[in-house]
Structure 1
Amino acid sequence: MNSEYSGAGDPAKSLELLWGLQSRPTRGPKPALTVDRVCAAAVRIADAEGLAALSMRRVAEELGVGAMTLYRYVPGKAELLDVMLDSVYGEFPRRPVDGDWRAKLEEVALENRELYLQHSWLLYVASSRPPLGPGLMAKYEYELEAVEGIGLSDVEMDAAVALVNGYVHGAVRSAVDAKQVIQSSGITDKDWWLAHEPLLEKIGDAQKFPLASRVGTAVGQEFDAAYDSEHGFAFGLARVLDGIEALLDGR
């Protein structure tokens, strides 16, 4: 799946939409749509069909209006994508957590994972130029609160949050990609391995590849598959947090 890019449109137009700064007509008929309705329709399409299916025409069909009607509310697809991103960022639960920084950062990771699983198209939007809307700003504020006052500089606080979010992004994208393979092929991982077992037995030389054979067998027996995304996510997240803890302990 090809990536889309946030901030690819007119940033001034996007910011107007994100913060409700666009001018409204004082006369004439009441608008039939709103930016929020257009955005909600676009998110529904992306959730159900992926980003490849998203277009201004497709959104217009979802809303039962002509494609040109949408341009009264949103300048184009690029600006619409910025609004979509900020809209789903606004869904970020921001649950209060009792405990230390580690428990709070773990919750940040779990909430990001939850958001990606609900809106997997987010994984395919490059956001090095993020939409600076209210949803994103509230999410970032909440994430920074997890590491406020624990001994990191402001730059390190940002880096710690980025480290956790980057790990979550990569781990969840791998899990989503694996799920999509199952959906597109109609074959579970277990059935795929079983179907190829005779071939694997021929090339699986335990004497030539003793570690691969031993470890692969142990994983297969443990998870009844070559990989378990839940275990992998928890293990990796713990190691990321261990790294931050080692930095703090070193001070």
Structure 2
Amino acid sequence: MAAQKDGAPLWERLERPAPAPRQTLSSQRIAAAAVAIADAEGLDAITMRRLATELGVAPMAAYRYVSGKDELLELMVDHVYTELELPPGTAGWRETLRAIAVETRELMLRHLWLGQLPPSAVLALTPNRTAVSERALSALAGLEPDTAMAVATTVSSYTLGMTGSEIAMRQFMAGQGWADEQQVYTSLAPQLTYLLDTGRYPAFERYIHEGRCKNDPAWQFETGLEYVLDGIAARIAAD
């Protein structure tokens, strides 16, 4: 969302014809290199100097495209959003929203740094990210605009929240050197035993003893998503 000295936003500047000195570099090359660094080492490893080293160019070369790290993050977000595979425009609203949710979860799990973006990048309007919103709103075109946006945002918030929790669990387990979530429950055994022995949490105790999908985040995500979509469908039918 940041603008350079001429006041034009990043995406307008990138659509301008590139002068001759830029021909050995491109916004796509810059984005791909930055994404590779972030995937391997996290966002903290991203600096303009490190990026220039990876690209084999002078430290100031990338500044012809982006004014700094904030715009670089926008470029990275837009780049990875090309990975989403969405159903055709003729698909119904439910199929479309489900696909966007599932694809977004998989995208975030491939690029864990998406869950660590600063607010400026989280709120950035990039072409490919906006295209996803356009697809969702187009699928909900039968609703009033405000209602369509509320529905799309509800599914998006569910997706980001559930996937963010999954990523946090993965990172916690990695930090502890644990291979699966069963080791989490083992580590919590003393606390669980004490709490359940009080008899005050019968529903939670039933889940602990009878739950079969505690270690299956994909099942948890997709099951919860279907309930969200069921609720939306019921409300649309009632209206």
Give the structure-1-normalised TM-score.
Answer: 0.80
Residue 8 of structure 1: how far off its partner (Å) = 4.7
Answer whether contact 2:48 2:62 (CA < 8 A) is retained. yes
Residue 206 of structure 1: how far off its partner (Å) = 5.2
> Larger RCO: Structure 1 or Structure 2 (Cα < 8 Å, ≥ 6 residues apart)?
1
Structure 1 residues 35 and 99, CA gap change in structure 2 (3 angstroms):
closer
Size of the aligned set, in residue pairs, is: 234
For residues 121-200 of structure 1, what are the structure 2 equivalents within 5 Å? 121-125=113-117, 126=119, 127=121, 129-131=123-125, 133-149=126-142, 152-187=143-178, 188-197=180-189, 200=192
Amino acid at match of 2:57: V
Aligned equivalents of 1:117 and 1:128: distance in 2?
16
Residue 237 of structure 1: how far off its partner (Å) = 0.9
Amino acid at match of 2:19: P
Aligned equivalents of 2:162 and 2:57: distance in 1?
39
Judge which range, 58-67 or 120-129, deviates more. Answer: 120-129
User: Which one has a larger percent helix, Structure 1 or Structure 2?
Assistant: 2
Aligned equivalents of 1:136 and 1:58: distance in 2?
26
Answer whether contact 2:166 2:217 (CA < 8 A) is retained. yes
Q: Is residue 238 of structure 2 the alignment partner of residue 250 of structure 1?
A: yes
Structure 1 residues 83 and 208, CA gap change in structure 2 (3 angstroms):
closer
Aligned equivalents of 1:198 and 1:15: distance in 2?
54
Answer whether contact 1:13 1:75 (CA < 8 A) is retained. no
1:20 aligned residue: 15
1:4 aligned residue: none
Answer whether contact 1:14 1:79 (CA < 8 A) is retained. yes
Structure 1 residues 203 and 91, CA gap change in structure 2 (3 angstroms):
closer
Residue 97 of structure 1: how far off its partner (Å) = 7.8
Any stretches of 5+ residues in structure 1 without a counterpart? Answer: 1-6
Amino acid at match of 1:159: A
For residues 15-164 of structure 1, what are the structure 2 equivalents within 5 Å? 15-17=11-13, 19-21=14-16, 23-25=17-19, 31-96=23-88, 100-125=92-117, 126=119, 127=121, 129-131=123-125, 133-149=126-142, 152-164=143-155
RMSD between aligned residues: 2.6
Residue aligned with 2:8, SS: helix
Structure 1 residues 203 and 99, CA gap change in structure 2 (3 angstroms):
same
Give the structure-2-normalised TM-score.
Answer: 0.84
Aligned equivalents of 1:13 and 1:97: distance in 2?
29
Amino acid at match of 2:95: A
Deviation readout 1:14-43 (Å, 9 max, x if unpaired): 1234x522x5335xx564322221111011
Any stretches of 5+ residues in structure 2 without a counterpart? Answer: none
Answer whether contact 2:195 2:201 (CA < 8 A) is retained. no
Residue 168 of structure 1: how far off its partner (Å) = 0.5
Q: Percent identity?
A: 36
- Following TM superposition, the consecutive aligned residue runs of length 4 or more in structure 1 with deviations greater than 6 angstroms are none
Aligned equivalents of 1:215 and 1:129: distance in 2?
37
Amino acid at match of 1:147: L
Aligned equivalents of 2:114 and 2:15: distance in 1?
23
Amino acid at match of 1:161: A
Residue 192 of structure 1: how far off its partner (Å) = 3.6
